[in-house]
Structure 1
């Protein structure tokens, strides 16, 4: 086998191994060889070889009862390294906790990742009803307040490319019209915050604001989310005010100095 073919085979195996790891979610925490093969469209022999290697390295653990695999402690160790070295995580945690105490709803920090919003941090509120969101969860941009905040501050080319990939409808309230989405993004830039009214999940409302770095670039978003019975339309100004204040506090910690308007 030539060196070039050997390198391509190695890269293909690496890509497949990463796809296997990314196929695990809170909704799908346990998978067998057949499950992975069917979900990813890979041959069973290929999956078996890669899963065996991942298990040997501690990235997967085999359940003795079901003979299926779950994520191992090596993934947790890497997660700890990532979060401990992320300035946004370290600087935002106390602010997010304070926000949750003020509004009594769950809050997240999210970042843009390959056309999705991915959550880096989550602080739960004290209410018994909680939402099936978690650190590492990826959600669409056009139907979440955190996603729309991030999308609103991307380049026109990025926004157009996102729209051209299709605006999937998740509920009857999801924005699927490109013109309406562009108008919404313009309003978000003007107001300084975004909302989502049952656009991803029925009965769920959320409010988000952008977090900036020292250059003024939007690098992440902070969101508060709850049932529509608690985050009512009449209370949006209250939630928006607190979310924007939290976003500004984190931005300042990241080195952003808000320019003063001259009178």
Structure 2
């Protein structure tokens, strides 16, 4: 009984430590113990103890002037290991760079995680729109072209899970009606690409196409993002270039029947 309690306490501590590290964002890179305790619904003493442990291993650093914590350099080491060993990054890099050179807009590789997309790789153009995307950034599936193209190829169970969640309206063009989103997903799957026109951010548009693995399953997306005054996401020439890039990356992953 005692061993089970100790194991449960240990696992809970590990989970809480991970939650603390995931709480830091670009918008809030530094946080106080009180901030973390309140946002995670944990005791201040628990948060303080976990931060001290994380600090001892270099995963967080305390600013003595503000008493705020931020992520430490040990995170960078783990990030390097992960990104260097993600197959999609290696296989997509030259293709994405060529795509950016052709369309002169920023390109991304994304994956579906829950009801969000996560950016795994990014190539900026010379004049990128300031949309604060970065490797590891999460965005909602229903308001992004990458999200829609990935969700369209998932099982009915996954689609239902996303449709049952609140579809927050970020902009006037955001699809917030579950039935309209389902119709959109059906259309996206049939046509082979998805677009987003000022659905997540004002003035920002994008187009995405699915990337398949060696089994033919859609596992990633390629997207191009830019300002609406500079880019038309439904331009056939642009759409075809994005689809071509997605097909080439799929072939690199072993998919010969796109």
Instruction: Give the TM-score of the pair, scaled to structure 2.
Output: 0.96
Partner of 1:242: 241
Aligned equivalent of 1:255 = 254
Pairwise CA distance, 1:114? 2.2
- CA separation in 2, counterparts of 1:14 and 1:247? 38
Is the partner of 1:158 in helix, strand or coil? helix
Distance apart, 1:238 and its partner CA: 2.2
2:76 counterpart residue number: 76
CA distance, structure 1, for counterparts of residue 78 and residue 238 of structure 2 = 34
2:205/2:227 contact within 8 Å kept: yes
Match of 1:222 in 2: 222
CA distance in structure 2 between the aligned counterparts of 1:148 and 1:129, rounded to whole angstroms: 21
Q: Secondary structure at the match of 1:126?
A: coil
Q: Distance in 2 between the 1:32 and 1:40 partners?
A: 12
- Residue 115 of structure 1 deviates from its aligned partner by 2.0
Does the residue aligned with 2:231 lie in a helix, a strand or coil?
Answer: coil
Which deviations, in whole Å up to 9, do the C-alpha atoms of 1:175-221 show, x marking residues without a partner? 11122111111111111110001111111100001100010001100
Task: Measure how far apart 1:69 and its partner are.
Answer: 1.4
Distance 1:135 1:198, change over 3 A: same
Superposed CA RMSD: 1.4
5+ residue gaps, structure 2, are none
Deviations 1:205-253 (A, max 9, x none): 00001100010001100111111101136x6222211111110110000
Q: Deviations over 1:103-147 (max 9, x none)?
A: 111111101112210001111111164321111111111110000
Q: Does 1:41 align with 2:26?
A: no
Equivalent position of 1:210 in the other structure: 210
The whole-number CA distance in structure 1 between the counterparts of 2:87 and 2:72 is: 26
Aligned residues: 258
Gaps of 5+ in 1: none
Q: Which residue is equivalent to 1:52?
A: 52
In structure 2, how many angstroms separate the alpha carbons of the residues matched to 1:99 and 1:192? Answer: 18
Q: Determine the structure 2 residue equivalent to 1:23.
A: 23
- What SS is found at the alignment partner of 1:230? coil
3-state SS of paired residue (2:221): strand
Q: Distance in 2 between matches of 1:34 and 1:238?
A: 52
Q: Distance in 1 between matches of 2:238 and 2:128?
A: 20
Counterpart residue number, 1:142 = 142
Which residue is 1:117 aligned to? 117
SS in 2 for 1:130: coil
TM-score, normalisation: structure 1: 0.94
